[in-house]
Amino acid sequence: MNQIKAAILSGELEEGDVLPSVRNLARDLNCSVITTRKAYEGLEAEGFTINMAGKGSFVAPQNMELLRDNRLAEIERKLTDIMEYARPVGITGADLKTIIDELSRED
């Protein structure tokens, strides 16, 4: 699911592109059809794809600003969890900022 999201966000997959069928993707990835179907449902729920019964899944038109805002909100939730995890052992926000700055330099 993350690979498909990344391909959409990078422009590798564009609006209207057809995704592989659930069965074909499950076979290619050697995983269950149920797992693949759930991934496709997740992509649709997040607005990345449109699933049309009998026709397949297609890349949905993207509102990049909305996707960015949603991603920032998700990052904020994760950082809040990280801060709550770090606080009991004395790791401060400044310590976490240093880690983020170091990771950013590696890009």
* Together in a domain, 19 and 54: yes
CA torsion, points 57, 9, 25, 21, in degrees to nearest 10?
10
- Predicted confidence (pLDDT) per residue in 7-39, tens digit: 888 889 998 999 999 999 999 999 999 999 999
Number of structural domains found in the chain: 2
DSSP E strands, 24-96: 49-52, 56-59
* Together in a domain, 54 and 69: no
- Predicted confidence (pLDDT) per residue in 52-92, tens digit: 888 999 999 877 777 788 889 999 999 999 999 999 999 99
Closest Cα to residue 20, out of 64, 59, 57, 61?
57
* Together in a domain, 51 and 18: yes
* Together in a domain, 22 and 38: yes
* Together in a domain, 14 and 39: yes
* Together in a domain, 6 and 55: yes
* Together in a domain, 92 and 72: yes
* Together in a domain, 37 and 50: yes
Closest Cα to residue 64, out of 1, 3, 107, 5?
5
* Together in a domain, 68 and 49: no
Residue range(s) defining the domain that contains residue 73: 64-105
In angstroms, the CA 91 to CA 87 distance is 5
Say what the pLDDT of residue 106 is.
79
